[in-house]
Amino acid sequence: MKHGDRTVEAKQFAALDLGSNSFHMVVAQQSERGMLTVVDRLKESVRLAAGLGEDGSLDASAESRALQCLRVFGERVRELPEAQVRAVGTNTLRKTKDALRFLERAQSELGHPIDVISGREEARLIYRGVVRGVESPGCLLVMDIGGGSTELIIGEGAEPTQLDSLYMGCVSWTKRFFRDGRVTKKAMDAAILAARREMQSVVRLYRKAGWTHAVGSSGTIVAIERILQAKGYAQIDPEGLAWLRKKLVKAGDVDDVDLEGLTENRRPVIAGGVAVLSALMQGLRIDGLNASSNALREGVLLDLIGREQHADVRDSTVRHLQERFEIDGRQAFRVQQTALSLFDQVAQEWALKGHHRALLRWSAALHEAGIFMTYSGYHKHGAYLLTHTEMPGFSRQEQRCMAAMVLGHRGKPTRDKISDVAPMWDRSLLHLVCLLRLSSKIHRRRSPRPPPDVVARASGRTIELCFPGSWLEERPLSRADLEEDVRHLEGLGYRLSVR
């Protein structure tokens, strides 16, 4: 695109879905008018869930496949700004015992951070991606069968109203019921029954929802639709699924299955996928289902662009939680503004970036989340709430970092306490804990008067606060709090100087 005599590169955004069966990447280019054009897609069958042991460890071959794929994807997106790339990990990375070690290597290969998201957050993003491609969605049921989990969502128009994530997927069910590719009627019936039992807790709720249209997304459902269409079926329906189950059982081994539309990448996990989809359609009494080419990656892409355009769902989540936990918004704002002022003064010395500032801003807004329960130990209650509350838009890592900051803003913080809440902590997180802590001390009186113009300087692990005039002398409680913090911050390895 051109501006006068200048040629301006169109902005590109990349979304990566690191699923339990396949890794996907979509790259889109945004025009000046905001129109999106997909300019690149990549997909690799990694079968991450197939390498997940019963003890939660990933075997070497699955790790190797994943890292090699991310190395390839990284070549495409490594030079894009961090704010224009988002990679999300799903069920297998949620369950992996040594996820932190793997993520460190994976992020190095990709060249960008990887967010592990909750099942409900995955469902929200799936719905956002799918509904974009549905005309007049009305009350919509969306189901997505992944490698390790299945997401169910009901929505009204663009907004999801019910989100659930079930622990069953095409890879996990294939490993459990169809080992070595063997398919028998007994195994198929057992797989369907187990899936029906897994979804038992949500069946009644979804039947009563009154959805008018059902759509399926992701590779499993797209593959099954392709197979049934090749046979002459207009859509996925119970009759077509029954025919497909019989074909798999008759072959006896997935390697011997001869089905038009079945790709070699999908072949190893098709039996598990058919069993899960059969259970869903039986349990939810679905007569017909169409597949959508949109899925999680498109939802991630739209969410990412929303952040760029100042329509970040995380801001809405924080505002909702402030209301839910009855947080004093005026006090939260005072602490937030001082924390951000201190941040801006020390950011260069401490190598803090924009995403660190955002985390501090959100944590300051929610630092009193636990006070509605009881004042005593409210920082502990707040940390627990932020760890376990469903927070649309936030990754698990972000939630835990915010919880650690809320925990550390009061009491006697230590590295061990921080590590218990946020195992992925690093020096940057400790910097943020210090800033939030100091800001809350400055505003302990909860005064509506303008805060002091504090000058902050940082050098290594030393932070100096300089207050104007006689501000400290006139506020002995604040002075005592800050002087007491000199000792407490030593537990985090910092030296505080106040004058």
Residue reference for tokens 């690149």: 40
Amino acid identity of residue 189, one-letter, is D
Q: Write down the H helix ranges in 37-164.
A: 60-77, 91-95, 99-110, 119-131
Superfamily of domain 134-293: Exopolyphosphatase. Domain 2 (3.30.420.150)
Q: Specify the 3-state DSSP secondary structure of 14.
A: strand
Q: Angle at Cα 292 formed by Cα 290 and Cα 296, nearest 5°?
A: 140
pTM of the full predicted structure? 0.87
Q: Running DSSP on this structure, what letter comes out for residue 237?
A: -
- pLDDT of amino acid 134: 86
Cα torsion 411, 416, 420, 425 to 10°: value is: 100
Assigned CATH for 2-117: 3.30.420.40
- pLDDT of amino acid 444: 87
Residue ranges of domains in the chain: 2-117, 134-293, 312-448
Q: What are phi and psi of 316, to 5 degrees?
A: -65, -40
Same fold for the pair 2-117 and 312-448: no
> Cα separations (Å) of 377 from 62, 189, 368, 406, 410?
43, 52, 11, 11, 9
- pLDDT of amino acid 355: 92
- pLDDT of amino acid 9: 66
CATH number for 312-448: choose from 3.90.228.20, 1.10.3210.10, 1.10.540.10, 3.30.230.70: 1.10.3210.10
Task: Give the Cβ contact number of residue 136 at 10 Å.
Answer: 8
> Cα separations (Å) of 295 from 171, 288, 337, 366?
18, 19, 38, 32
In tens digits, the chain (499 residues) has pLDDT values of 454 445 456 789 999 999 999 999 999 998 777 678 899 999 999 989 989 998 999 999 999 999 999 999 999 999 999 999 999 999 999 999 888 999 999 999 999 999 999 999 999 999 999 998 887 778 999 999 999 999 999 999 888 999 999 999 999 999 999 998 999 999 999 999 999 999 999 999 999 988 989 999 988 999 999 999 999 999 999 999 999 999 999 999 999 999 999 999 899 999 999 999 999 999 999 999 999 989 999 999 999 999 888 889 999 999 999 999 999 999 999 999 999 999 999 999 999 999 999 999 999 999 999 999 998 999 999 999 999 999 999 999 999 999 999 999 999 999 999 999 998 788 899 999 999 999 999 998 888 888 889 999 999 999 999 999 898 888 888 888 888 888 889 889 999 999 8
